[in-house]
Structures are given as structure tokens and as C-alpha cells.
Amino acid sequence: MQEQGDAASRHTPVMLDRCIDLLAPALDHDGAVAIDGTLGMGGHTEGILERCPKARVVGIDRDPQAIALASQRLARFGDRFIAHHAEYDDIAGALAAAGATHADGILLDLGVSSLQIDDAERGFSYAQDAPLDMRMNPEDPVSAADLLRDADERELTRILREYGEERFASKIARSIVRRRETAPITRSAELVDLVRACIPAATRSPGGGNPAKRTFQGLRIAVNRELEVLERAIPAAIEGVGVGGRVVVESYHSLEDRIVKRAFASGAESQAPPGLPIIPEADQPYLRLLTRGAEKASAEEAESNPRSKPVRLRAAERLRPTPPERLRRNA
């Protein structure tokens, strides 16, 4: 493993300037608190601390290696940075760590981090042979190899179809179950070979990348319960910012973006029937959208940092507290 001090050289944060531009207006006051819910190697947090000198940042990550790397990188900011080892839906825990009742800005940069992809032994990458682990938190009980060994064909099909959006999910699941009758699938190269054999060459688009990409995505999401955590994290983030606070989210595939879009749209739209002369308090919007649809990285950034290509960025500002009736509806 590389030295911890080289986090900055190993990671280029995606759409850093745009994220900070969106957060900065809410962080320009004494005592401002920001939460970086997906700390990773600390690139976004470093940018916030440099450009928003009045703010403190609580960085959340479930990966203890990421906490260690980022903490060393951000040591120069002293007590303006606070590390919080948890899943990123623990907004309440992050606020408690900062001694705050609400945040002024929350950033979520979703998906797998550069740290996890680049460390071959973590088993996230289909491009390098390694043990099939894929746990963002190594203390979690179930690895990808465990899932491939224990899940039945129906469950494997569901995971690959729903989370990986894999067209050949049932064929791949059937092949996994048949293969494990003689030997468990424990390494990434074994899984790549199996998937490649299941996908007809004629259906692969030129330049479409490794045919195992969607299978690996589906397994990773299942192992880390990513969509379950996100379903909790987005409402927690919205409720975790005070009036005038901002929530910025970077998604990397349609499943994530759909959850974010739905939550932001619900808060930004009136729930009253059209034509009412006065909109009841409970039906008025409590969010204002700061982006028109989902923003993407510039062509220049996509070329210099290929991991930015699939990003979809959305942001919203809190206009007022969420009416209790809306909270009950959203629960």
C-alpha cells in the first residue's frame, strides 16, 4: 500500500470548483459547518476548507483507511476538520461531532472512491485480478465472494438486473450457480471470465468497455447496501441543513441520480392542487433547485479526469423548515 501522505497525488476530486461555488454562499459566516458525507481521500473537504475560511468540515467515511489518509492530508487545518467514521446517512452523528444542531452545507460524492478502485486487493476493479471483496468498510460481514457463494439464483439475478442494470442478469446468475457447484468464485478475474462467456460478442458495443462492468457494479451496490443508505441519506441531508443551507450531490449512475432527483423535486414543488388562490403552508416548497437538471463535468475535465465522465450533479437550497405534514408523507 502507498504511503498515507500521498492522498492528494492519488485523487482528483470531481467537479471541485462547481461543488464549492454551490456551497460557498451558505458557508460565508462565522461558525459555519459543512459535512462531507463521502470523505474519501479528502479532496473536496480540502477545497472547502481552503476557500471557505470561516467553515469547519465534518468528514464522514465508512472506510477506516480513507479516514486515516484524509486526516493526515487535512491535519494542517487543525480543529476545522473533524473525522467521523460512519456510513454517510449518519448526518445526526456528524452534527453531534461538530457540536452543531444543523449544517450549512452538505456534500455527497457518491459511488466507489479512487482509494478503493486503485487498491487492487480491495477487489472493486474488474481490470485487475484480486480477491472478490468489494467492502467499503472491511469490518462489514459480507464480501462479494460471500454473496456469490450464498445467494440463490433468483437473488443473484435480481441484484445484477436491478443494481447492475445488466441485460443478461439471469444467464450470468445461472452460470454463477452452476460454477460454484464445483468451485467457489473468489477472484475478480474468474468472475470477469465467467461474465464474458455469458455475453454474446455481437451485443457488445464497440468501445463499450469491459463486459463485466455492470456485474461488478451490481455486486458492489449489494455488498455495501449503497441504495439503502442513499435512501436514508438524502432525507437526512435535507433535514440536516438549516434555512439557507445547501445540499450538493454527485451521482455516477442512473439508480443514484433517480433517488436524488425524486427527493429534491418533492421538496421544490408545491403539493397544492393547481388553481388554488392561496397555497396552504403545508403544500409550499421547502427547497429551491440550484441546478437545471443534472449538471455534467466539462469536456476538459472529462478528458483530464476520466472518472468524472458519468457524474450527474444536483444541488438544492433549503427555503424554510419542512412542514410536519410533508415529513410524515415523506417518511
Look up residue 240 and give its amino acid. Answer: G
207 marked as binding residue: no
The residue among 289, 305, 298, 297 whose CA lies nearest residue 248 is 289
CA dist 134 → 30, 105, 147 (Å): 40, 30, 11
182 exposure class (CB count in 10 Å sphere: 0-12, 13-18, 19+): exposed
The residue among 114, 159, 158, 106 whose CA lies nearest residue 136 is 114
47 marked as binding residue: no
28 marked as binding residue: no
2 marked as binding residue: no
109 marked as binding residue: yes
116 marked as binding residue: yes
The residue among 48, 104, 123 whose CA lies nearest residue 80 is 48
102 marked as binding residue: no
CA dist 157 → 152, 176, 201, 212, 227 (Å): 9, 10, 21, 14, 17
Gap between the Cα atoms of 137 and 62, Å rounded: 5
Residues 6+ apart with CB under 8 A from 320: 243, 284, 286
**What spatial distance separates the first Cα and last Cα of the chain, rounded to whole Å?**
43
Query: Which residue do the cell numbers 461488478 mark?
Result: 216
Per the annotation, binding residues for S-adenosyl-L-methionine are 42-44, 61, 88, 109, 116
Per the annotation, binding residues are 42-44, 61, 88, 109, 116
